[in-house]
Amino acid sequence: MTVSAVALLALTACSRSDSVSSSDGTAPAATTASTGPTIPPPATTAPAATTTPVDTTAPATAPAPATTAPPTTAPMTVPVTTEPPVPTTAPARDDGGTPTPDGPAPETAFVTTGTDLVEIDVATGTVLRVVEEFFNGDGVFRGGLRLTSDRRSAYFNEGYEDSWYGCESSKGSIGRIDLVSGDIDRVATGSWVGLSTDGTRLAYVTSDLCLPDPEQPDLWVLTPADRVVVETVGGVVQYVTASPPDSYDAPTAIDWAGFGGDDLLVLTAAGDLHRIPPDGAPVVQDNPIVGSGLAVLPVGMLGGRLLAIELGDEGSADLQLIDLVTGTVTPLASAESFMSAGISEGGHVAVVAFSDVTVVPGAPVTVVTPPPDDSYFDIDW
């Protein structure tokens, strides 16, 4: 299963930076399945914030006039698979310390273009089929693809133009798309969707807060993430931060959640990565810190290390592996523009960017190049 957490931040940044006034500023209420995994771009930022990662998962420009309300697709419960979990083995490391992928790389990947979600040929970058229109100019931005292990569906994050005017719209939504039919369900309120390797658990970041923005308290709201929701076949578990954050960059705000083996990983705005075992404490900060001082966009775990993207001040991106024990950083690839990455079931890494990508010799990274006059924003395989 690929993990492509990066594009999700880009998604929210777009919804923030391109926002215009809205008539109601609300998103449809989402319901959460209680009997199985459900679906969620990243934690949203206030209009004045400048630290939100650059948005690239949505179309390059957003319409200037006020947008319509988000689609009214009725929330639906995501069916629980009856197939047994597919056992996977963490990629081994070669003598140089670089993860060695297990088995051949997938021949196809799923990417977002300026308008659509498509399946592509990895070797050539050409579009094999259009799964569904993803961006239609109605102020909805989607990204952060999370492909299920059976490759039949994908979860994603959804953000909205004018989101800072309403509490629910500011929090974003989790969606699920059937990759055969193209049908889309909205299944939760939140962002940063993550799937466990065996596909039995889904995690997302959300908030129970809605605070008046200090700069425009009569118009804008802040909804900094204060909890992680984990949904399983057996029910729902929530992990809350130690104290309610009062801004998006408050140290206790939650920036990302994903899985590392059986454990949940949670990154706070303080730069601390906490590892929460299945029987871990309900307060995030009461669980062990396995990484600190992290100012990156996590993608997922690869060979026991954290695969992440560091964004430069001028819009560049560096893909790297971070050893959570020693703190050692191993560069894998770089680009002078925003980059999105995905991890396959066997530990292969694929990247897309808006500019040329330079790969470190020997790094297990496949660069996907779109056809001329096209761009790929987000990838998972």
- For each of the chain's 381 residues, which pLDDT tens digit applies? 443 333 433 433 333 333 333 333 344 433 333 333 433 333 333 333 333 333 333 333 333 333 333 333 333 333 333 333 333 333 333 334 567 888 899 999 999 998 999 999 999 999 999 999 998 778 888 999 999 989 999 999 999 888 888 999 999 999 999 999 999 999 999 999 999 988 899 999 999 999 999 999 999 999 999 999 999 988 999 999 999 999 999 999 999 999 998 999 999 999 999 999 999 999 999 999 999 999 999 999 998 899 999 999 889 999 999 999 999 999 999 999 999 999 998 899 999 999 999 999 989 899 999 988 889 999 999
Distance CA(25)–CA(176), nearest Å, equals 23
Query: What is the reported pLDDT for 17?
Result: 34
**Assigned token pair, 318:** 């560096």
Distance CA(329)–CA(326), nearest Å, equals 9
CATH number given to 6-380: 2.120.10.30
Query: What is the reported pLDDT for 319?
Result: 98
Q: Where are the domains of the chain?
A: 6-380
Distance CA(58)–CA(53), nearest Å, equals 13
**Assigned token pair, 341:** 């990455």
Query: What is the reported pLDDT for 140?
Result: 86
Query: 75 CB contacts (<8 Å, ≥6 apart)?
Result: 28, 29, 30, 31, 185, 186, 187
